[in-house]
Amino acid sequence: MSAGSSSLVRGRLAPSPTGFLHLGNAWAFLLAWWAARSAGGQVVLRLEDIDPQRSRPEYAAAILEDLRWLGLDWDEGPLPETGGEGAQFAERGPCGPYVQSRCTAFYTEALRRLEALGCLYPCFCTRKELRALAGAPHIDDAGAPYPGTCRRLTPAERAARQRAGHRACLRVHGPDGVMAFDDQLRGPQRLRLEDCGGDFAVQRSDGVVAYQLAVAVDDGRMGINQVVRGRDILPSTPRQIALLRLLGYTIPTYAHVPLLCDADGERLAKRHASLALRSLRAEGVAPERIVGLLAWLAGVNPSRRPLRPVEALRHFHLDALPGDDIRLDAAMLDSLRRAAPNP
Ligand code: GLU
């Protein structure tokens, strides 16, 4: 499929199978689903299991089951009923594979194209060296940008390091200048790659493809033109836009939604095990109650009544979302559980 070939909205749900889905994931996926479906668009499900150390097939099967339980569907992607017990999922749709661990050929081809464009280079810096170079505890989105040390190595220096057995990651030296985009919630964004860590890795030194490359290649080749995801991922967006541009793909629209946090303002994560959809389900909480609460938080369910995702479609609008992160207080969680039958 060629990106941007029609005006049909194509959104995506892109879970990483590194744990069970919790309320925060459900919130982000519901918003992405509502945004695509309320525009009459299609939904693509993509399993982002690119990191072999963190991904587990049993989480993948559980995530697909939990999304279905919540009431979400997708037009393309893995078919939940076909996987499990180590079996690979069968898939539906013309842009497969929809499971990143099976997409290596696409990523290798993208690396080859980046190499041909002259913007790829091996980086031999160790974590320790990076820390020292940056003069900061670590290089990350908010820290000092990578200073480009290995970009300036001569071919002879590179060859010497390779001969000495130093392992390299591959970094991209992206275009200079601002990667401007209009966030549909946050307005115009004007970030430079330097503001987001500078030259970034597209392949780790152990050969595993980096998240930025996998997402950009898959959004591009799957013709995704609407991305709705948590605001924590916003610093990745300029890097993904840079890659999409270099690889010749159309840039999707982006909306970075507020995060769900616990009562202390901590972003929901795996350690909030009691807020995993599985745990709530085991307590007898109905999916309609979860969706009703999340739709209320999204500003589209004033009465807070339980509902199926499809019932909120008519009212859904990104503009109704709050701008700030949301704290889930005890009363909100009680409202989920109050109506649950005693286990
Ligand atoms: N797979 C990523 C995650 O679960 C989301 C990536 C994206 O939406 O671009 O955090």
Q: What CATH number is attached to the domain comprising 280?
A: 3.40.50.620
Q: Is 250 a domain residue?
A: no
Pairwise CA distance, residues 162 & 225, whole Å: 40
Any atom of ligand 1 within 6 Å of the Cβ of 16: yes
Per-residue model confidence as pLDDT tens digits over 162-198: 999 999 999 999 888 899 999 999 999 999 998 888 9
The token pair at 162 is: 């390779």
From the alpha carbon of 15, which atom of ligand 1 is closest? 4
Any atom of ligand 1 within 6 Å of the Cβ of 197: no
What pLDDT is stored for residue 339 in this prediction? 60
* Amino acid at site 206: D
CB atoms closer than 10 angstroms to residue 253: 16
pTM summary value: 0.93
Task: Indicate if 144 and 188 belong to the same structural domain.
Answer: yes
Any atom of ligand 1 within 6 Å of the Cβ of 14: yes
- 230's enclosing H/E stretch is strand 226-230
From the alpha carbon of 14, which atom of ligand 1 is closest? 1
Any atom of ligand 1 within 6 Å of the Cβ of 12: no
**Nearest one of 196, 197, 193 to 146, comparing CA atoms:** 197
What pLDDT is stored for residue 34 in this prediction? 98
Average pLDDT over residues 85-91: 81
Q: Is 55 a domain residue?
A: yes
**Nearest one of 17, 54, 14, 23 to 269, comparing CA atoms:** 23
Task: Indicate if 95 and 116 belong to the same structural domain.
Answer: no
From the alpha carbon of 219, which atom of ligand 1 is closest? 9
Q: To test ligand 1's pocket by mutation, which of 229, 239, 244, 251 has the most ligand atoms within 8 angstroms of CB?
A: 229
∠ CA 133-138-141, rounded to 5°: 110
Task: Indicate if 35 and 84 belong to the same structural domain.
Answer: yes
The length of the chain in residues reads 343
The token pair at 319 is: 């503009």
Into how many domains does the chain fold? 2
* Helices 104-116 & 211-221 angle (0-180, nearest 10): 100
Task: Indicate if 132 and 82 belong to the same structural domain.
Answer: no
Task: Indicate if 142 and 206 belong to the same structural domain.
Answer: yes
Please, are residues 204 and 50 in contact by the beta-carbon 8 Å criterion? Answer: no
Last residue of a domain, one of 180, 214, 248: 214
Q: Which of 57-71, 101-115, 140-154, 270-284 has the lowest mean pLDDT?
A: 140-154
